[in-house]
Amino acid sequence: MDIMAAAIQFSQCYIEHPYVKRIMTELDKLRAQRLLSKDQQCILITGEAGTGKSALIDHYKVKDVATNKSTKMTPVLLTCISAKRDLDSTLIQMLHDLELFGASQYKRRGFATNLEQKLVNALKRAQVELMIINEFQEILEYKSMQERQAIGNSLKYISEEAQVPIAFVGMPWAAQICEDPQWASRLIRRRKLTHFCFKDIDKRRYYLSYLKGLASRMPFASPPDLASPPIAIPLFAATNGENRFIKELLKEALMIALQQQDDTIKLVHLSVAYALIVPDQPNVFEFPLDLLQLKEIESPSRINFDMNTVEQLIIGPKYTKPIAISDILSLK
């Protein structure tokens, strides 16, 4: 078996668990209803790094391309904030992502053009039904209230004139756009992707169901029992329930198992994989289960408005105090 090909295939698999299915259904609904009113209803999708925001919208885009592969139109425009993090550069980026030839000429000094109207016309020509802006928080950072309002006004005009709903995707503070009353009413749909949880029984089932989905995507005759306590519990302890870390750890363990020609993933493979990825941390896969302690996110990351340096801009998520697995399992 080609180990690298198997690892890539697993890495690219996507588990449509119920919550992300609901979000994708909402994206479809926004597209279907976009011609009913000039005032477009939009959606805000936020979450911590590693919760699967980019994976969700990439998967949605891939599904759309597969459905519309026979047309030259662009029903779903997936774009991002320009590296310069200003409005004009971002509008040019959107034109570029629409594969509009000559988009680079808008950067020339003195080139008189209305970027908003150019983008509206381009969206109409490409018959775009939904625009997804990833990492949206980047254009709001370091901006005053007036600057954020100007950005909001521009995007509102584009959305209304082109009759294209917008999905704003980003870190939790992307919700700053809702400080504008006009956008607050357009962003009734606000969805949050979170890390997995273990303490709550229903949320734990959600986590275990996700692990079963990942196991079914592995190239073994019989899927590994990733949802069994000896694997699921230390896997959570190692990752704090972070989607991206879980998948990266499992990918590494998969490659080790295939290299050793084993017929499934075992605890020892995860132990070796964890030691390779985070060699300076105690290896939780070598701990007895009753000695493991788990942490979950208690409050999300946020902007630090009292920052003195750029490095202090973001305050990371706050985690719960470690709680023993025996105490968690005794909860009702």
Residue whose entry in the numeric block shows the structure tokens 């060699």: 279
Half-sphere exposure of 124 (CA within 13 A, CB side): 13
* Angstrom distance (rounded) from CA 78 to CA 67: 16
CATH dotted code for 11-193: 3.40.50.300
* Angstrom distance (rounded) from CA 136 to CA 91: 13
Buried b (16+ CB within 10 A) or exposed e, 97-133: bbebeebeebeeeeeeeebbebbbebbeebebbbbbb
Domains in the chain: boundaries = 11-193, 197-332
Beta bridge pairs of residue 131: 77, 166
Q: 168 with 40: CB under 8 angstroms?
A: no
The Cβ of residue 224 has, within 10 Å, a number of other Cβ atoms equal to 25
* pTM (two decimals): 0.90
pLDDT at 308: 59
Model confidence pLDDT, tens digit, residues 310-319? 566 788 899 9
Model confidence pLDDT, tens digit, residues 109-166? 444 458 999 999 999 999 999 999 999 999 998 888 899 999 999 999 999 999 999 9
